[in-house]
Amino acid sequence: MSDDALVSADNIYRYYGQYCAVENLRLRLQRGEVLGLLGPNGAGKSSTLQMLSGNLAPSAGQITINGIDLLDAPKRAKAHIGYLPEHPPLYPDFTVDEYLRYCGRLHGIPRARVKPAVDEVKVRCGLSETGRRLIGNLSKGYQQRVGVAQALIHSPLVIILDEPTVGLDPIQIREIRALIRVLGKSHGVILSTHILPEVQAVCDRVQIIHAGRTVFNDSLSGLDKRHGPKGLIVAFRSPPAMEALRALPGVESIEPLASGRVRIVHKGVMAVDAVVKASVESNWGLQELTPERTTLEQIFMDLVHREQDTEAQDNAIARAAS
């Protein structure tokens, strides 16, 4: 239901002149959910997040934040959003404390409650030691943390993070991911990234965007269920005839691959059993047995490349016709 969704966006279009950056996008974010927005560079991720954060008005379509229309009542809607843009919006001449206090005040935290809010968010983002340092003198990783802190300080319902782990070292990346998972329990988080493992590590649901359109939208658990194991890659020391393999129970088709490997498409787990048993009985010498899984990466590559292929074809056809 769109009514209890924290963020709901419908039929969003965004044009830059003639160029259409976002086309008919639909997006839902529920409370307690971490949504990963995935796509190659220039897919329209940042434009989408800018629109959701109220920094960019969509050319058409409607966005509501916690039931409040972002275009009709931007002030009330924005109060529920914490936004970390691609480049953290920092004042290099301020100290971390000053900056965070200012952010807190800007987001309407009463004067008396600003200090505890700043202290809390500093602990959360690992900034306790850096309060008195100038932001301009901090390393990129710490600046990124200040950026995250700025988005959290008023504990908004919706947290929008544009590539939050860019420029962080591996330890910091783990910390930020852990923080996002914690936040995802009580708030709603949307994050964009082009790092696939990041999505698998922190997101509940993934929406893949390519050339401004949603090409995939599913929960990660659904992804595993639907696209569970479906193939086996096997290799033998003395490979049997292909017919012998195909005759095994549960095997649907086989496909020879490079360097003596064979891909077996099967119906159920019983095929695995059968292959192992047959190998032992007939001395095929099983060397390798890998269940094939559809990873996010495969889906991503499939979708993005298929799009590019059809586009290339369309272009070729158009050229041939003209």
Partner 1 sequence: MILTIAKAELRRMFYSPLAWATLAVVLFILGLLFLILVDNYLTTIQAQLVGIPGAPGVTDIVLAPVMLWAGVIMLTVSPLQTMRAFSEERQQGSLTLLTSAPLSTTELVLGKYLALLVFILVLLGLLALIPLSLAGATQLDWGKIMASLLGLFLLLASFSAAGLFISSQTKTPLIAAMSSFGLLMFLVVLYMSGSAESTASDLFIYLSHFGHLLPFLQGLFDSSDLIYYLLFSAVFLILTIRRLDNERLQR
Alpha-carbon span 318 to 240, nearest angstrom: 48
Taking a C-beta distance cutoff of 8 angstroms, is the pair 81, 156 a contact? yes
Nearer to partner 1 by C-beta: 91 or 317? Answer: 91
Note whether 108 binds partner 1 by CB under 8 A. Answer: yes
Contacting partner 1 within 11-70 (CB under 8 A): 16, 53-57
Written as six digits, the tokens of 194 are 């082009």
Considering only 2, 60, 69, 91, the residue that binds partner 1 (CB under 8 A) is 91
Contacting partner 1 within 193-222 (CB under 8 A): none
Considering only 79, 157, 166, 201, the residue that binds partner 1 (CB under 8 A) is 79
CA neighbor of 180 nearest in space, from 154, 146, 207, 204: 204
Q: How far is the CB of 314 from partner 1 (least distance, A)?
A: 28
- The residue ranges of DSSP E strands in 211-250, in sequence order, are 213-219, 231-236
Taking a C-beta distance cutoff of 8 angstroms, is the pair 193, 37 a contact? yes
Residue carrying structure tokens 């590539």: 163
Nearer to partner 1 by C-beta: 56 or 220? Answer: 56
Contacts with partner 1 by CB under 8 A: the residue count is: 30
Alpha-carbon span 150 to 209, nearest angstrom: 27
Give 201's contacts (C-beta < 8 A, 6+ positions apart): 177
Q: How far is the CB of 150 from partner 1 (least distance, A)?
A: 7
Please provide the distance, in angstroms rounded to a whole number, between the alpha carbons at the two ends of the chain.
47
Nearer to partner 1 by C-beta: 13 or 94? Answer: 94
Site track 116-155 with partner 1 (rule: CB under 8 A), x = hit: ----------------------------------x-----
Considering only 87, 113, 140, 185, the residue that binds partner 1 (CB under 8 A) is 87
Alpha-carbon span 6 to 29, nearest angstrom: 6
Alpha-carbon span 83 to 148, nearest angstrom: 8
Q: How far is the CB of 114 from partner 1 (least distance, A)?
A: 11
Task: Specify the stretch interacting with partner 1 by CB under 8 A; choose among 80-88, 184-192, 230-238, 306-314.
Answer: 80-88
Site track 301-320 with partner 1 (rule: CB under 8 A), x = hit: --------------------
Taking a C-beta distance cutoff of 8 angstroms, is the pair 219, 205 a contact? yes
Which stretches of the chain bind partner 1, using CB under 8 A?
Answer: 16, 53-57, 74-76, 78-79, 81, 83, 85, 87-94, 98, 102-103, 105-108, 150
